[in-house]
Structure formats: structure tokens, C-alpha cells
Structure 1
Amino acid sequence: MDKTEPSNLVSSIIFPKGQQVTSEYFIGRTWVETLVSNDSVFNCAVYNVTFEPGARNNWHKHPGGQILLVTGGRGYYQEEGRPVKIIKEGDIVKIQPDVKHWHGAAQDSWLSHIAITTNPQKGEVEWMEPVSDEYFCRLK
């Protein structure tokens, strides 16, 4: 266990935390574990994603949509042109195809969610600009 992780986070994660993401499309430390790989039978990919406090992904779009099942902590979800929403354990977020959005942990909480990539045959995620620190730090 990383010394900066609260022990209750580790004990509350029900799926493997996975590997730390090393990508220009994420700010802060994030871990991803593939739970179900996309194949011709199930036609979706399922991931466990864990964000440290303040970590988030860039704005992005999924051509086939995405579903988030929040399994722990508290964070944010925002669609372009709409107010930010607070998400917490037990929330379900259904993201329509090609909707520009971002998600991540609140400044003072870890966030863990299951990310389901729906209709992956429609194409890969399109990554865009980061969510600026200036904007993110103003969120409550």
C-alpha cells in the first residue's frame, strides 16, 4: 500500500486497483485495472479506475458512449456546457455517445468507479484538453 493512501480506501476497493496510469490525458495519480476486455462476444470493455484526491482525466468523448458505476469516494463529472455534478458511491452516470466530458476525484477524496465502454466498434476515445488547475480548484 502506498503511504499516502488512506487504509479505508484500500479496504473498500472491491476490484483490483490495477496499474498506475502514465498518460498525458490524466492529471494526478490514477490507477486502472481491466476487468473485462473487449471481444466479439460481449462487445464492451470494463475497467476499475481509481483516482487519488484531485486526480482527473482530460476532456474526452466516447463515440459509443460510456457508463460509470461509482464504487467509492467522491468526485466530479461534467459534460461540456453543463454544470459540474458531484458523484459518489452508488451513483450511475450514463454518458451519451460523442458527449464531451471529464471525471475525477474531488480535491479532498479518493474516487473509484467502474468504467464501461459501450459500443466500442464505433471507435476509440477522443482525448482533448486538460481540465485546468485554476478551474478545478474552484469546484466545491
Structure 2
Amino acid sequence: MIKIKNLALTVLASTMIACSNTDDQDATNLHKQADDLLYPKGEKITNNNFIGNAWLTGLVTADSVNKNAVGSVTFEAGARTNWHIHPAGQIILATGGVGYYQEKGSPKRTLEKGDVVKCPPNVPHWHGASADQAFIQIAITGRQNGPTEWLEVVTDEEYLQ
């Protein structure tokens, strides 16, 4: 009888330790994911220039000394910008996930962490997350020739090509 009780206590203790370790691992994984973010997710973008959910953390505001605005944008899977142009161009630095970039008249490009895109001035383009993964980018946007000009919505057909 004592052996059975000891066995039962051992099994119970092992189960509790295993569950505790799983909880610890889950917590560690959540902290690691948060630590992997270069910048906070930021504020949800609520204008009509994006399809799906996207968040922005402003990093640098353009001013009279530095004409570039810099922001970290997090796109939920399937989220994207509308077609738009930047009169002074834009640079996109892919920092996480998988995304897309397309210039009008050119094929869509897949972007992954470490990829860099130099968007020429006044060229219509769009960018955002892939259909099944989120995407994080840093956008460096020149402001010296005027603000971003927003154009038409990127249709599902264009997005899925």
C-alpha cells in the first residue's frame, strides 16, 4: 500500500513539474517573441489607406534639419497599403515575417527579414504582409518634395497575383 501511495505521489509530482515547465516554457516563448521585436507594435492605423490591420510606431519625425520620417509598421497577415507614391521616394527595411512589395507594371516581390527596397520617387507601389504571415518593416520616407499621395485600393486580384 505504501509503495502504491509513493508511486501515485511520484506520478503526481512529475505531472505537476511537467505542467509547470510547460507554463514556464510558454512564458519564456512569449517573452522571447516580445524581445525579438525591434520596436513596440505601436498604434493601430485607422485611416482608409490600408486594407486589414496594421500598426505604426513613429521613430523619427521629419523636420527642417532631417527631411525623412521613419516608422516601424507591423502588418497582420493579409494586410497591405493602398497604391501610393512618395514624391521624395522611400526605403523599406524588412525586419520580420514575410511581406510583399509591388511597383505598378512590375511583378510582386516577396520580402523577408533583411531585405531592403528602394522605392523611387513618384512610382506607384504598395507593400504589406503575405497572405499567411505578418510582416514588419521600417519605412524611411523623404518628405522634402511633399507628402505621400494615396491612390486606389489594391484589389484582392492584384494582391493574390
Shorter-chain TM-score above 0.5: yes
Pick 1 or 2: higher relative contact order, CA cutoff 8 A, min separation 6: 1
Give the Å deviation of 1:9: 5.4
Q: Could you say what secondary structure the match of 1:122 adopts?
A: coil
Give me the TM-score of the superposition, normalised by structure 1.
0.89
Give the Å deviation of 1:39: 1.1
Which position in structure 2 is the counterpart of 1:79? Answer: 103
2:87 to 49, 58, 63: 63
Q: Structure 1 residues 108 and 100, CA, compared in 2 at 3 Å: closer, same or farther?
A: same
What is the one-letter code of the residue matched to 2:87? P
What aligned pairs does 1:100-139 form with structure 2 within 5 A after superposition?
100-118=124-142, 120-136=143-159, 138-139=160-161
Give a deviation string over 1:19-75, Cα, whole Å, max 9, x none: 000011100000001101111122211000000000000000000000000000001
Aligned pair count reads: 132
Q: CA RMSD in A?
A: 1.6
Rg: which structure is higher? 2
| Unpaired segments ≥5 residues, structure 1 | 1-6
Q: Could you say what secondary structure the match of 1:34 adopts?
A: strand
Which of the pair is proportionally richer in helix?
A: 2
| Unpaired segments ≥5 residues, structure 2 | 1-29
Instruction: Check whether the contact 1:9–1:110 (CA below 8 A) recurs between aligned residues.
Output: no
Q: Structure 1 residues 38 and 10, CA, compared in 2 at 3 Å: closer, same or farther?
A: same
The percentage of aligned residue pairs carrying the same residue is 50
Give me the TM-score of the superposition, normalised by structure 2.
0.78
Give the Å deviation of 1:12: 2.4
